[in-house]
Amino acid sequence: MDIATIGGLIAGMVCLLIGIIAAKGDLGLFWDEASILITIGGSLSALLASNPLQRFLNIGRAIKVAFFAPNNSPNDMILTLISFSEKARREGLLALEDDLDELPDEFLKKGIQLVVDGTDPEMVRRIMETEIEQMIDRHDAMKKIFDDWASLAPGFGMIGTLIGLVLMLVNIEDKSAIGPGMSAALITTLYGAIIANWLSIPVANKMEARANEEVLMKLVMIEGTISIQAGDNPRLVKDKLIAYLEPAEREAISNEVEG
């Protein structure tokens, strides 16, 4: 579970509720079933209409990406690649086949298998880079769901407001109903803004961050795989791979390898 995502959403909602209370507002005034139906139901319906069914049904998977941090550690992956380079230098590339089943990542396993099979280095790189491109396309497709929702929800909030204004103007003779009617009409706009800025945009941004982290991991794997195939010295492999990391992480890996 990603504490930052959960904590941020909870903190955002708490701030909204406390802000209403601090302004001496009644929370009950901000609950309106019709507005919920128009804003949430309408925007989800438009979301379904504008995306393939399977992509829409994958909303749960998309939320999981944002709310659950992956267990991937670039440090562990780099140490694994360094150990593979050491073994390849000592025993040859074919010896790596014995350790393939222990690799937790299918992408790296495929790359090492290509190396063991004697595939041309350029072809290995091209195959692995194509895998990354396809992964990015999948991430973009999932992120698009929340990007679309962020643009659709405020629009349906405005539609709800216009509906409320029409209903209010029909009864404009009753001056006492104008204030409450205007308040109810504006709630749908509020709901649309909350869906976009409190939920959809943050989740989409977190998904983009997750995708960038995964791409970084995959680039490290490609560089390590090609270096192992080239027979590079393990120290050179380490220097190539830690270049992808932050300075503090580089130092930690250097100390562990030298230790």
- 186-206 burial: b if 16+ Cβ within 10 Å, else e: bbbbbbbebbbebbbbbbbeb
Same domain as 118, residue 21: no
Same domain as 26, residue 48: no
Q: How confident is the model at residue 222, as a pLDDT?
A: 95
Same domain as 111, residue 23: no
Same domain as 38, residue 4: no
Same domain as 118, residue 23: no
The number of beta carbons lying within 10 Å of the beta carbon of residue 16 is: 14
DSSP 41: I
| Nearest CA-CA partner of 188 in 42, 8, 66, 63 | 42
Q: How confident is the model at residue 84, as a pLDDT?
A: 92
Q: How confident is the model at residue 176, as a pLDDT?
A: 66
| Nearest CA-CA partner of 160 in 243, 16, 54, 36 | 36
Give the DSSP letter string of 5-35: HHHHHHHHHHHHHHHHHHTT--GGGG--HHH
Same domain as 45, residue 2: no
Same domain as 184, residue 247: yes
Q: How confident is the model at residue 93, as a pLDDT?
A: 92
Q: How confident is the model at residue 180, as a pLDDT?
A: 65
Using the structure block, give the residue that is written with the tokens 């659709």.
152
Within 92-200, where are the H helices?
106-116, 121-170, 178-194
Same domain as 149, residue 226: yes
The number of folded domains in the chain is 2
Same domain as 5, residue 58: no
Is-contact 159 188, C-beta < 8 A?
yes
Same domain as 70, residue 12: no
| 3-class secondary-structure state, position 157 | helix
Domain carrying residue 110: 32-259
Q: How confident is the model at residue 175, as a pLDDT?
A: 66
Give 10-residue mean pLDDT values along the chain (259 residues).
Answer: 87 93 86 91 95 88 80 81 92 89 88 94 95 93 93 94 84 68 82 95 92 91 94 90 84 67
Same domain as 238, residue 183: yes
DSSP 176: G
Same domain as 13, residue 82: no
